[in-house]
Structure 1
Amino acid sequence: MLLFYRFYRWLYLRRVPVVPTICKYVNRIVFSIVLPPSAQVGRNVRFGYGGLGIVVHANAVIGDNVVISPNVVIGGRSKLREVPVIEDDVQIGAGACILGPVRIGRGAKVGANAVVLEDIPPGSIAVGVPARVIRQG
């Protein structure tokens, strides 16, 4: 799944028309993940259960060595143009929603079903709806 994304991202960066969009939809049908070619995904990113139910905003940035569990939404919020930035070595629990112009700091952990609406400092753990930091890094 991620190898397929890297292929159509490569095509997208070289401005190949139509093919990256078709590949995005194939990825969505086969793996149940919405991962647009314009999203930036770093190295060694792992999507739990092959990306099942994961939705990533077209302008989102995901760093290296990130673990994303199933049913995670990394997206924007209405009337806000900015989208999430996930730094390196972050773990995101199942069902979490990371919405709007937030930055998840390096090495942070987001608990299952948390709704992140504000920045999470590096090395911290955030849980709840809305997410709050329970341990500073």
Structure 2
Amino acid sequence: MNVVPMFIRRALYEFRLRRCFPTSVIHSGATADSSSVLGDYSVLFRNVHLIDSSLGAYSYAQENSALYGVEVGPFCSIAAGVTIGLMNHPIYMVSTSPVFYDNTQPLPRFFSSQNRHSQKPPKTVIEADVWIGEGAKIMAGVRVGVGSVIGAGAVVTRDIPPYTVAAGVPCRPIKDRFPESMRLRMLDTRWWELDDKILATLAPYFADPASFLSAINAAKLTVPVGRRD
């Protein structure tokens, strides 16, 4: 195999990817297929792979992470070695090997003429401002709520409520980040949808949640519906 053409193809691929998402930082070895989207000022570190996924504005995924069919909101922090969107194998059949139930699987030989396990799960959703620790695994179809923290090495098989710290195998809630009244007020602000100029004026208050809530309420801001520009 000629190494030079491979290197050239790789360089051209990375050039096209960076051209598609000019405000994003895309490190060597990172990939995003044609159905994936990178939000403004997002970052893919080395050997990160996105398949049919979106990464929100100001979000990043560190080295050797992989996202399959995932919607990641803005301001998310994904550590190294994280895998999101893992599919299950059917355990009600004689074998869990896909060669017996899926004619679309990647193995060179198989024994099924159809896909008997073709039910596609809903998108895996990582809402805004989520922090996912190193080596965590998140199953397909799970929703992780706004502002949640997933501990390193966790295996997430169920939805995680907003502003929850969760960890373990299987992953379970450990504590709430804020009292319930503050959580509700934080969610109501939808600050992650605000324009960058407004966020810049509020940035000095982010260190203190109570001060932040006072500041955003005093400003009487109206948050636009839908995605950030």
TM-score above 0.5, yes or no: yes
Q: Confirm whether residue 62 of structure 1 aligns to residue 72 of structure 2.
A: yes
Higher RCO (Cα < 8 Å, 6 or more apart): 1
- Tell me the residue number matched to 2:55: 41
Pick closer, same or farther for the CA change 1:97–1:5 going to 2, 3 Å. farther
Structure 1 stretches of 5 or more lacking a match? Answer: 9-19, 25-29
Aligned residues: percent identity? Answer: 33
Query: What is the letter of the counterpart of residue 47 of structure 1?
Result: A
- Tell me the residue number matched to 2:121: 81
| Larger-gyration structure (1/2) | 2
- Tell me the residue number matched to 2:173: 133
Pick closer, same or farther for the CA change 1:21–1:106 going to 2, 3 Å. closer
Pick closer, same or farther for the CA change 1:76–1:134 going to 2, 3 Å. same
Misfit runs of 4+, over 3 Å: none
Instruction: Note if contact 1:5-1:35 (Cα within 8 Å) is conserved in structure 2.
Output: no
Pick closer, same or farther for the CA change 1:117–1:5 going to 2, 3 Å. farther
CA–CA separation in structure 2 for the residues paired with 1:5 and 1:75: 24
- Tell me the residue number matched to 2:131: 91
CA–CA separation in structure 2 for the residues paired with 1:45 and 1:134: 24
CA–CA separation in structure 2 for the residues paired with 1:99 and 1:46: 19
Instruction: Note if contact 2:167-2:174 (Cα within 8 Å) is conserved in structure 1.
Output: yes
CA–CA separation in structure 2 for the residues paired with 1:86 and 1:5: 24
CA–CA separation in structure 1 for the residues paired with 2:18 and 2:127: 19
Measure how far apart 1:5 and its partner are: 6.3
Structure 2 stretches of 5 or more lacking a match? Answer: 1-13, 22-31, 37-44, 89-116, 178-229
State the number of aligned residues.
Answer: 114
TM-score (norm 1): 0.72
- Tell me the residue number matched to 1:118: 158
Measure how far apart 1:41 and its partner are: 1.2
TM-score (norm 2): 0.45
CA–CA separation in structure 2 for the residues paired with 1:5 and 1:62: 19
Measure how far apart 1:39 and its partner are: 1.0
- Tell me the residue number matched to 2:20: 7
Secondary structure of residue in 2 paired with 1:74 = strand
CA–CA separation in structure 2 for the residues paired with 1:6 and 1:87: 26
Query: What is the letter of the counterpart of residue 82 of structure 1?
Result: P
